[in-house]
Chains A and B, each alone.
Chain A
Amino acid sequence: MMARNRVICRAVDVTKRYWRGKVAVDALRGVSLEIKSNDYVSIMGVSGSGKSTLIHILSCLDTPTSGEYYLEDKLVSNYTDEELARVRNTFFGFVFQSFSLLPRLTALDNVALPLIYAGTKKQDRILRAQEILEKIGLGDRMSHRPNEMSGGECQRVAIGRALVNNPRVIFADEPTGNLDSKTGAEIMEILDRLVDEGNTVVMVTHDSSLAAHAKKTVKLKDGMIEND
């Protein structure tokens, strides 16, 4: 895997302002943050603290209003939409609160989805997705569609999808928010294990017991980091 402690993501004085009608909302007001290889970071904060906005900018789903954002020392905060799509595809994996699987696709096809946009050959896509599904214990669910699986299984498929392209960073936005506590604990176990295996995980949560899994916690309040 990658050398430890190498800086992957570096945000420098990032702000984000968006408009709700005619009212300006400053979701982030100068956030600086580094994520190193094999980090396990949790971003905490109450609703409206800017934690979702931060993870969107870190994961290149959004761009900052001002400030700089570097990925492996490359400035990406001025990238075009097309370049950002490429970055998301090759650098990051995503786990969302609501699973966000494509309902008409099987577990296998959902996991393989990012590889389509990476231009991987169909044969290799299937092999890679099978390998991942076996690894996260869904080897017997490959041809199931999301509505044929439990919430925990769906979230594991989503984790599989996040892993399929060997991402530098896995972003998890409230990954247990839609699950009961037992299933949530299973998902947290998987995330813990991924970090043990050398992966980098950034997780957004408002639950301090979940945040305790992480090695590092970033607390956000009113768009700024409280302490580090």
Chain B
Amino acid sequence: MISILGKIALSLQTFRSHRLRSFLTTLGIIIGVTTVIAILSLIEGLNRTVAEQVQALGSDLIYIQKFTWISTGHRDLDKLAERPDLVPADAEAINQLSSVEIAVPTISRQLSNLRYRDEEISNVSVAGSNENYSYVNNYLVESGRDFTRDDITHRRSLGIIGSYVAANLFPDESPIGKDLMVEGHRIKIIGVFKEKGQFLGNSLDDFVLIPNTVFEKFFPRSRTSLFARVYGGYSIGVKPKTSDVEKTLDDIRELMRRRHGLGFDKEDDFELNTQQMLMDLYQNITRVGFIAIVAIAAISLVVGGIGIMNIMLVSVAERTREIGIRKAVGASNQYILSQFLTESIILALIGGIIGIGFGMLLAALISTVSPLKAAVSFWMVLLGFGFSAAVGIFFGIYPARRAAGLNPIEALRYE
């Protein structure tokens, strides 16, 4: 039998004699594949960025809070407000669990004001916790020192600041040993955290950490608003000892239920939040986007495929005499079929290749003008190829069969 190379050569020759027509025919495929590649690579890039950030945050942490991070539907704040506050004693108890490495209570307030001499910054958060906070949350004290147990128990008015605060209030001098006004309360800075970057667009460095005992003294718990009652209290961050997070979750749940005196028939009055839950939620959201994109792309590929089918039917009609001559001198139906099929597949593949190129270009372009980072994977290129080849076969088979089925005598007479 004749080699596939011969058929490909003949196809390319045909396209050369109909350059504009061939290009216009592939336009649908080009646009479809360009869209798929560009958007998939942006989603992939976003996924990688988020995954990296969660990794940096310490993805295995468990947070015990009154509220869940991931709510489905309406949140009944009245009910949440009635739940008992979490307290540092809970953290102490959880610390005793064999599956827990360390548990740390943290309480915080947002939108606070910091002042050093005449310099002032607002919109930073103040967190109250203990000497284990930095370890559990992956913070490193870059200069100065961390808290000690004594700092906490003796309610020393000390603070460790994030790198954002250091850079903005102390651009030219060391913050260590300086007095900082936190909402009008004086603390002495003993350390600076190493920069940690951002998570989902939020800076992780614009805060000041003080002992939770001092926090309680400075900012007595307000119970006036529903919001404060739900979100204002302690949350307890737990670093599990083993990689078996489920076991740790079970242990904590059991312990907390006992501490809150809940019977068998009572629901939990606390929530266990993990960063994995956030990751799962995020991936669910992007998966929906992913499916939507694929659906849109499929539509444009179908449109492109119909374009190919249309032009192949025109081509078959135009070349009826040629088909007759070829059949007369011995071309089999099979040969004619595969010749036309090769043409439609190559048309679609050329569209696919151009689309992959444009898609990568578009993704790169979006990467440079926006904070989104594109990442083109090999599987996307394969997907682009596979899609366009499938379109070429699916929409090429009917015209090709029509060409192959032509009666040689009628085809020879065709003018």
Residues of A within 8 A of B (CB): 56, 61-62, 81-82, 85-86, 88-90, 94, 96, 100-102, 104, 113-114, 116-119, 161, 165
A100 to B324 alpha-carbon distance, docked (Å): 9
Say whether B333 contacts A81, CB under 8 Å.
Answer: yes
With contacts A104-B17, A116-B6 known, is A86 near B328, CB below 8 A? Answer: no
Residues of B within 8 A of A (CB): 1-2, 6, 13, 17, 321-322, 324-335, 408-409, 412
With contacts A61-B409, A104-B13, A104-B17 known, is A114 near B332, CB below 8 A? Answer: no
Say whether A96 contacts B412, CB under 8 Å.
Answer: yes
Which residues of B sit under 8 angstroms from A102, Cβ to Cβ?
Answer: 322, 325-326
Which residues of B sit under 8 angstroms from A114, Cβ to Cβ?
Answer: 329-330
Which residues of A sit under 8 angstroms from B332, Cβ to Cβ?
Answer: 81-82, 85-86, 117
- Further pairs besides A100-B412, A161-B329: 13, Cβ < 8 Å: A61-B412, A81-B332, A82-B334, A85-B327, A85-B330, A85-B332, A85-B333, A86-B332, A88-B328, A94-B328, A94-B329, A100-B328, A102-B326
Question: A62 to nearest B CB, angstroms?
Answer: 6
In the complex formed, the residue of A with least CB distance to B407 is A62
Say whether B412 contacts A89, CB under 8 Å.
Answer: no
Question: B194 to nearest A CB, angstroms?
Answer: 69
Say whether A88 contacts B330, CB under 8 Å.
Answer: yes
Say whether A117 contacts B333, CB under 8 Å.
Answer: no
14 example contacts (A-B, Cβ-Cβ < 8 A) are as follows: A61-B328, A61-B412, A62-B409, A81-B333, A85-B327, A89-B329, A89-B331, A94-B328, A100-B325, A102-B326, A113-B326, A116-B2, A117-B332, A117-B335
A96 to B328 alpha-carbon distance, docked (Å): 10
**Interface residues of chain B: helix, strand, loop or mixed (majority):** helix
Which residues of B sit under 8 angstroms from A113, Cβ to Cβ?
Answer: 325-326, 329
In the complex formed, the residue of B with least CB distance to A89 is B330
Which residues of A sit under 8 angstroms from B17, Cβ to Cβ?
Answer: 104
Say whether A118 contacts B409, CB under 8 Å.
Answer: no
Which residues of B sit under 8 angstroms from A165, Cβ to Cβ?
Answer: 330
Say whether B409 contacts A117, CB under 8 Å.
Answer: no
A161 to B330 alpha-carbon distance, docked (Å): 12
**Interface residues of chain A: helix, strand, loop or mixed (majority):** helix
In the complex formed, the residue of B with least CB distance to A53 is B409
Question: B260 to nearest A CB, angstroms?
Answer: 82
A118 to B322 alpha-carbon distance, docked (Å): 18
Question: B308 to nearest A CB, angstroms?
Answer: 21
Which residues of A sit under 8 angstroms from B334, Cβ to Cβ?
Answer: 82
Which residues of B sit under 8 angstroms from A118, Cβ to Cβ?
Answer: 330
With contacts A62-B409, A100-B412 known, is A82 near B329, CB below 8 A? Answer: no
A82 to B331 alpha-carbon distance, docked (Å): 9
Say whether A119 contacts B2, CB under 8 Å.
Answer: yes
Question: B341 to nearest A CB, angstroms?
Answer: 17
Which residues of A sit under 8 angstroms from B1, Cβ to Cβ?
Answer: 119
In the complex formed, the residue of B with least CB distance to A94 is B328
Question: B324 to nearest A CB, angstroms?
Answer: 8
Question: B18 to nearest A CB, angstroms?
Answer: 11
Which residues of B sit under 8 angstroms from A161, Cβ to Cβ?
Answer: 329
Say whether B330 contacts A117, CB under 8 Å.
Answer: yes
Question: A115 to nearest B CB, angstroms?
Answer: 9
Which residues of B sit under 8 angstroms from A81, Cβ to Cβ?
Answer: 332-333
Question: B22 to nearest A CB, angstroms?
Answer: 15
Question: B276 to nearest A CB, angstroms?
Answer: 61
Which residues of B sit under 8 angstroms from A116, Cβ to Cβ?
Answer: 2, 6
Question: B331 to nearest A CB, angstroms?
Answer: 5
A114 to B331 alpha-carbon distance, docked (Å): 8
Say whether A88 contacts B333, CB under 8 Å.
Answer: no
In the complex formed, the residue of B with least CB distance to A118 is B330
A96 to B408 alpha-carbon distance, docked (Å): 13
